[in-house]
Amino acid sequence: MIRRNESEEDYLEAILMLKEQNGAVRSIDVAHHMDFSKPSVSRGMKLLREKNYITVDGDGWLELTESGLALAQRVYERHRLLAAWLESLGVAAEVAAEEACRIEHDISDDTFQKLKAHIGG
């Protein structure tokens, strides 16, 4: 199984979610959303830029690159489907969201696709 970088995936997912909610996003928005310090998020954004997952314009606005968007959408789809499925099993919404966040990083692509087909998502 391919081991993914959970931190990178969490940052990319947060950027995508915030962009969908607000239309635009900066590092400070990510820091507030994730309850991380600004220096921690700045380091994370630097690594994402180095891997060509994001770009940052002169005013500090974050944009997902094509590869960053693809990875963010993949993680976000997993999160939404897993959280909804856990809730349908009777797991409390907050717990389902937390559990989905852990599972989304470790489940294989094959297993996720089979689960998705089984659930009908």
Q: What stretch of H or E contains 47?
A: helix 38-50
Decide if pLDDT at 5 tops 90. Answer: no
Q: 75-119 architecture in CATH?
A: Orthogonal Bundle (1.10)
CATH 1.10.10.10 in the chain, residue ranges? 6-70
Spatial neighbors of 104 by CB under 8 A, at least 6 apart, are: 9, 75, 78, 79, 82
- Looking at residue 106, its pLDDT comes to 87
The distance in angstroms from the start CA to the end CA of the chain is 23
pLDDT category at 16 given cuts 50, 70, 90 is: very high
Decide if pLDDT at 1 tops 90. Answer: no
d(CA 121, CA 114): 10
User: What number is the average pLDDT over the span 74-87?
Assistant: 93
Q: 6-70 architecture in CATH?
A: Orthogonal Bundle (1.10)
Decide if pLDDT at 76 tops 80. Answer: yes
d(CA 75, CA 98): 14
- Looking at residue 4, its pLDDT comes to 59
- Average model confidence (pLDDT) across the chain: 92
Q: What is the pTM of this model?
A: 0.86
CATH 1.10.60 in the chain, residue ranges? 75-119
Q: What single letter denotes the amino acid at residue 68?
A: G
Q: Is the CB of residue 81 less than 8 Å from the CB of residue 88?
A: no
User: What number is the average pLDDT over the span 46-51?
Assistant: 96
Decide if pLDDT at 3 tops 70. Answer: no
Q: Is the CB of residue 30 less than 8 Å from the CB of residue 14?
A: yes
Find the farthest-apart pair of alpha carbons in the chain and give their distance in angstroms, rounded. Answer: 46
